[in-house]
């Protein structure tokens, strides 16, 4: 089963990341028979309720890439159609005995993992840049205050320069507020052990203000300014709310309307987004399946409904009582 010059690798040498992110696995012996396969592998390839060996061989006969993979030829990673038509990635590892370990995973998984790594790296980089920006801003504000104090002893110069100093002070304040909002979303601190979703939502909306203005999207924000609180991981909650709102804006047609509401219901914090569904498929950069998994990991849920030309999303997270 091993190709010419291919070094055989024992199951113990399989990278742990491959096992962690695989959705299913199967052992194939020298003859190509399926010795063992878990439910994830059978479901991914549509082999459930059938003779796995015969069904796999039948698929291989119609798919040259799969056939070469089973023969130990060609690349160790191939992409084939999955049971539901989605892209499926099969990874081959040759065992010492000549058999194969096949791992199956979604063809989009690697791309999503790379996106996640890139987002984490950019988030850390941008947070560091934001912290570095705050230091000179504070220095500028201090120097501005000293300059104002000196000019106060010179009435004529103070009257002439006062409006200019006030304008500079205002712009420094605006930049400082943008940096603060960004840090609260990208690198949040929760010293009291909870995240105020109302304040978080206000910060996210402000950060995305340029995109709203550029696209002429009308955003209607409803709900209390001091919204419900959640004790879920603040960084993950911030990322999830940011991605959901950015995705909704990206899909809303130019000049459209996006309604955002926040409230509490049955011990849960509920964030709802309603907007025109737009033309074509949603922006692939905002995968609802990934967002749903993120909500589930926070012991919450994400429901999506598309009817009458409208997209409705409802994010539910565990809420804690205000004290």
Mean pLDDT of the 121-141 span? 79
Say if residue 128 is in the same domain as residue 248. no
Q: Choose one of 75, 107, 139: the last residue of a domain.
A: 107
Has residue 306 got a pLDDT over 60? yes
Is residue 6 one of the residues assigned to a domain? Answer: no
Has residue 3 got a pLDDT over 70? no
Cα(280)–Cα(269) distance, integer angstroms: 31
Q: Give the distance, in angstroms, between the CA of residue 28 and the centroid of all CA atoms in the same chain.
A: 35
Say if residue 310 is in the same domain as residue 249. yes
The mean pLDDT value of the chain amounts to 82
**Residue 19's pLDDT band (boundaries 50, 70, 90)?**
very low
Question: What pLDDT, in 10s, does the model give residues 154-208?
Answer: 877 778 888 888 888 888 888 888 888 888 887 777 778 889 999 999 999 998 9
For the record, the structure tokens of 202 come out as 């206000």
Q: Which structural domain, as residue segments, surrounds residue 113? A: 109-187
Has residue 313 got a pLDDT over 90? yes
Has residue 17 got a pLDDT over 60? no
Amino acid 6: pLDDT: 39
Cα(233)–Cα(183) distance, integer angstroms: 15
Amino acid 20: pLDDT: 45
Is residue 215 one of the residues assigned to a domain? Answer: yes
Is residue 17 one of the residues assigned to a domain? Answer: yes
The DSSP letter of residue 17 is H
Say if residue 212 is in the same domain as residue 138. no
Which residues, in sequence order, are CB contacts of 80 under 8 Å at separation 6+? 59, 63, 65, 66, 87, 88, 90
Q: What is the CATH number of the domain that holds 119?
A: 1.10.287
Helix 234-251 and helix 155-186, axial crossing angle in degrees, nearest 10: 100
Say if residue 83 is in the same domain as residue 97. yes
For the record, the structure tokens of 89 come out as 């990635």
For the record, the structure tokens of 146 come out as 């000293």
Question: What pLDDT, in 10s, does the model give residues 95-124?
Answer: 777 788 888 887 677 677 667 766 766 677
Q: Record the pTM.
A: 0.63
Q: Parallel, antiparallel, or unpaired: how do β-strands 257-265 and 218-222 relate?
A: parallel
Cβ atoms 204, 221 nearer than 8 A: no
The DSSP letter of residue 1 is -
Q: Choose one of 187, 202, 233: the last residue of a domain.
A: 187
Total domain count, the chain: 3
Cα(212)–Cα(161) distance, integer angstroms: 35
Is residue 5 one of the residues assigned to a domain? Answer: no
Say if residue 27 is in the same domain as residue 61. yes
Say if residue 198 is in the same domain as residue 102. no
Is residue 3 one of the residues assigned to a domain? Answer: no
């Amino acid at each position: 089963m091993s190709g010419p010059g291919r070094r055989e690798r024992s199951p113990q040498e399989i990278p742990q990341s491959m096992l962690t992110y695989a959705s299913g696995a199967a052992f194939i012996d020298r003859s190509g028979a399926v010795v063992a396969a878990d439910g994830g592998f059978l479901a991914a390839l549509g082999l459930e309720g059938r003779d796995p060996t015969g069904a796999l061989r039948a698929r291989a006969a119609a798919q040259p890439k799969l056939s070469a993979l089973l023969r130990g030829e060609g690349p160790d990673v191939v992409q084939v159609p999955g049971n539901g038509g989605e892209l499926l990635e099969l990874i081959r590892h040759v065992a010492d005995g000549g058999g194969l370990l096949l791992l199956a995973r979604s063809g989009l998984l690697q791309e999503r993992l790379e996106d996640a790594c890139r987002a984490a790296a950019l988030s850390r980089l941008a947070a560091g840049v934001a912290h570095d920006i705050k230091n000179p801003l504070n220095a500028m504000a201090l120097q501005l205050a000293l300059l104002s104090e000196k000019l106060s002893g010179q009435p004529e110069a103070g009257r002439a320069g006062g409006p200019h100093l006030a304008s500079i002070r205002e712009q420094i304040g605006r930049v400082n507020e943008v940096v603060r909002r960004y840090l609260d979303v990208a690198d949040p601190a929760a010293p009291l052990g909870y995240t105020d979703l109302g304040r978080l939502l206000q910060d996210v909306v402000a950060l995305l203000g340029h995109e709203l203005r550029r696209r002429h999207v009308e955003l209607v924000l409803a709900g209390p300014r001091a919204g419900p609180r959640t004790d879920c991981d603040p960084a993950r909650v911030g990322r999830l709310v940011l991605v959901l709102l950015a995705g909704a804006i990206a899909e809303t047609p130019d000049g459209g309307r996006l309604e955002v509401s926040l409230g509490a219901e049955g011990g849960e914090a509920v964030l709802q987004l309603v907007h025109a569904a737009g033309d074509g498929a949603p922006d692939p950069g905002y995968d609802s399946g990934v967002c749903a998994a993120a909500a589930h990991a926070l012991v919450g849920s994400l429901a999506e409904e598309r009817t009458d030309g409208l997209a409705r999303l409802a994010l539910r997270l565990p809420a804690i009582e205000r004290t």
